[in-house]
């Protein structure tokens, strides 16, 4: 008697499955079986059809199935500030333009609407998880949850009053409340998000270190973003920012260090020794003329690398395909080595590297049985990605986000045939335009 097929929720058949783990592998004519939001099996299509009876089958013979992309650093409410203050250096951009505008408009509605717009953009570009860093994390978390989007939400700490908190104690009290609210959630988790070494004092860093240890939380921090930051730290503290953080006990395997454009060889090796993850945001760094992260040197030293877009006010998009291509190409130029940071390595940084950086690698970042079914189909049939010789190279160097056809998060469809599920693009555009008019009325 033949065995009775096993009932599952979803079977995804693809011409190419890129599991990320093992590294550099492409599985031709394979399928991924999904049930109860998790990956059950990865196997050849013929075997999958014999073994499983799926409630739904999606077959894409000309597509590559990849893990959902992980945007490891962004400020998604700032999607509503896209293009507000372009072509300026970081300090002027931030202090003279962005902070004043935020001071006038920031609030729960701004955060919720900005995150919702960002979710739609990210889903259409194959991103299924984000490491978020902004104010009103309670609103962010609720918005991500409502739309079924995976997120590590930052709990902000900064040395001056904002619309979120007026004092050091209030920042920490509210952080604890948000963390407690989302503790144990299947999609949403938290991290401490002190803004930067130049906006957070030693006492608050020490408090973060103690609480991060107690609560087992990552620390998400802009670090060594510009030469000016390093020079100011030497003047104010007699140490480079990394040395200061190491003295304070924060330079460890909980740290998600973002930008890292100003690094010595010794600092690169200290990252490896301490288990620090580095998030490479090449397009924001290029646009703000902040410097170049030595991605190849970090990767070759054994440092875990992730990719992030930063916020739309400094990028100006949330396109992880474009960001990963820029990361790979820029790494070669900085290393003066055409073989550096190859396509498979870049794609790994944009998926499993990001998952590891934010502490989600036990659940996402690769296509393996037991992991959550955060999956993306990318159509490789258009003439822009033909002929197809090498799948990894095509995904990194030739593919655009418009080629993403289908997206699932925890097995739940969020994009079908390029159509968003449960999100209305026309309504999102209309809402973005009313925010544009409100911001324009400020006269900045």
DSSP assignment of 320-344: HHHHHHHHHHHHHHHHT-TTSS-HH
User: What does the block give as tokens for 385?
Assistant: 């990605």
Does residue 418 lie within any of the structural domains? Answer: no
Does residue 430 lie within any of the structural domains? Answer: no
Length of the chain: 444
Counting the structural domains of the chain, the total is: 2
**Does residue 62 sit in the same domain as residue 155?**
no
pLDDT at 3: 78
**Does residue 250 sit in the same domain as residue 342?**
yes
Look-up of token digits 């073994």: 51
pLDDT at 241: 98
Q: pLDDT tens digit string along 288-326?
A: 999 999 999 999 999 999 999 999 999 999 999 999 999
Q: Which of 228-264 are b and which e, b meaning 16 or more Cβ less than 10 Å from the residue's Cβ?
A: ebbeebeeeeeebbbbbbbebebbbebbbbbbbbbbe
Does residue 442 lie within any of the structural domains? Answer: no
The CA distance from 178 to 87, in Å, is 35
CB-CB contact of 157 with 208 (8 Å): yes
Does residue 428 lie within any of the structural domains? Answer: no
CB-CB contact of 84 with 97 (8 Å): yes
Domain encompassing residue 248: 69-357
**Does residue 163 sit in the same domain as residue 275?**
yes
CA atoms within 13 A on the CB side of 30: 19
Look-up of token digits 């060594």: 224
CATH of residue 383: 2.30.40.10
**Does residue 39 sit in the same domain as residue 98?**
no
The CA distance from 398 to 384, in Å, is 7
**Does residue 62 sit in the same domain as residue 133?**
no
**Does residue 201 sit in the same domain as residue 307?**
yes
pLDDT at 90: 82
Residue 160: CB atoms within 10 Å:
10
How far from chain centre, in Å, is Cα 335? 24
CB-CB contact of 284 with 220 (8 Å): no
**Does residue 163 sit in the same domain as residue 49?**
no
List 6's β-bridge partners, or say none. Answer: 52
Does residue 342 lie within any of the structural domains? Answer: yes
**Does residue 338 sit in the same domain as residue 377?**
no
Does residue 315 lie within any of the structural domains? Answer: yes
The CA distance from 13 to 19, in Å, is 13
**Does residue 55 sit in the same domain as residue 147?**
no
**Does residue 329 sit in the same domain as residue 196?**
yes
How would you write the pLDDT of the chain (444 residues) with one tens digit per residue? 457 999 999 999 999 999 999 999 999 999 999 999 999 999 999 999 999 999 999 999 999 999 999 999 999 999 999 999 899 888 898 889 898 999 999 999 999 999 999 999 999 999 999 999 999 999 999 999 999 999 999 999 999 999 999 999 999 999 999 999 999 999 999 999 999 999 999 999 999 999 999 999 999 999 999 999 999 999 999 999 999 999 999 999 999 999 999 999 999 999 999 999 999 999 999 999 999 999 999 999 999 999 999 999 999 999 999 999 999 999 999 999 999 999 999 999 999 999 999 999 999 999 999 999 999 999 999 999 999 999 999 999 999 999 999 999 999 999 999 999 999 999 999 999 999 999 999 975
Does residue 368 lie within any of the structural domains? Answer: no
**Does residue 330 sit in the same domain as residue 403?**
no
- Which of residues 294, 328, 357 is at a domain's end? 357
The CA distance from 255 to 206, in Å, is 14
The CA distance from 279 to 44, in Å, is 35
How far from chain centre, in Å, is Cα 423? 21
CB-CB contact of 207 with 213 (8 Å): no
In the structure, how many helices (H) and strands (E) does the chain have? Answer: 17, 16
Q: Which residues contact 404 (CB under 8 A, 6 or more apart)?
A: 124, 125, 126, 376, 377, 378, 379, 415, 418
List 413's β-bridge partners, or say none. Answer: 408
Does residue 440 lie within any of the structural domains? Answer: no
312: left (phi over 0), alpha (psi -120 to 50) or beta: alpha
3 state DSSP class of 156: strand
**Does residue 75 sit in the same domain as residue 182?**
yes
- Order across the sheet with 127-132: list the strands: 69-74, 127-132, 150-157, 188-194, 219-223, 255-259, 277-280, 304-307
CATH of residue 100: 3.20.20.140
């Amino acid at each position: 008697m033949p065995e009775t097929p096993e009932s599952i929720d979803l079977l995804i058949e693809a011409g190419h499955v890129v599991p990320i783990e093992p590294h550099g592998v492409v599985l031709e004519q394979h399928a991924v079986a999904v049930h109860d939001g998790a990956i059950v099996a990865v196997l050849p299509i013929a075997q999958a059809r014999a073994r499983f009876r799926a409630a739904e089958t999606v077959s894409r013979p000309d597509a590559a199935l990849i893990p959902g992309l992980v945007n490891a650093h962004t400020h998604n409410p700032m999607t509503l500030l896209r293009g507000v203050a372009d072509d300026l250096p970081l300090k002027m951009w931030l202090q003279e333009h962005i902070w004043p505008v935020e001071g006038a408009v920031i609030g729960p509605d701004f955060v919720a609407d900005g995150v919702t717009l960002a979710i739609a953009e990210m889903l259409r570009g194959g991103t299924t998880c984000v490491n978020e860093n902004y104010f009103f994390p309670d609103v962010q978390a609720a918005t991500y949850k409502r739309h079924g989007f995976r997120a590590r939400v930052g709990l902000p700490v900064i040395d001056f009053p904002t619309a979120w908190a007026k004092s050091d104690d209030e920042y920490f009290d509210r952080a604890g409340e948000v963390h407690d609210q989302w503790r144990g959630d299947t999609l949403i988790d938290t991290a401490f998000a002190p803004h930067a070494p130049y906006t957070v004092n030693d006492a608050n860093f020490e408090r973060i270190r103690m609480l991060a240890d107690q609560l087992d939380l990552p620390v998400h921090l802009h670090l060594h973003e510009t030469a000016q930051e390093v020079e100011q730290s030497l003047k104010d503290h007699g140490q480079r920012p990394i040395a200061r953080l190491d003295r304070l006990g924060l330079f460890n395997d909980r740290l998600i260090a973002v930008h890292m454009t100003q690094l010595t060889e010794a600092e690169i090796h200290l990252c490896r020794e301490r288990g620090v993850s580095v998030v490479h945001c090449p397009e924001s760094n290029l646009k703000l003329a902040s410097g170049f992260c030595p991605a190849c040197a970090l990767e070759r030293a054994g440092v875990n690398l992730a990719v992030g877009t930063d916020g739309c006010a400094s990028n100006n998009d949330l396109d992880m395909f474009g960001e990963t291509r820029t990361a790979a190409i820029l790494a070669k130029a900085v290393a003066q080595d055409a073989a550096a940071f190859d396509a498979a390595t870049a794609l790994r940084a944009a998926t499993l590297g990001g998952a590891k950086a934010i502490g989600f690698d036990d659940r996402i970042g690769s296509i393996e049985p037991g992991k959550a079914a955060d999956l993306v189909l990318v159509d490789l049939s258009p003439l822009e990605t033909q002929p197809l010789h090498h799948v990894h190279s095509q995904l990194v160097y030739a593919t655009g986000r418009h080629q993403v056809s289908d997206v699932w998060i925890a097995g739940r469809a969020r994009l079908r045939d390029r159509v968003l599920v449960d999100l209305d693009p026309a309504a999102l555009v209309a809402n973005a335009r009313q925010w544009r008019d409100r911001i324009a009325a400020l006269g900045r």
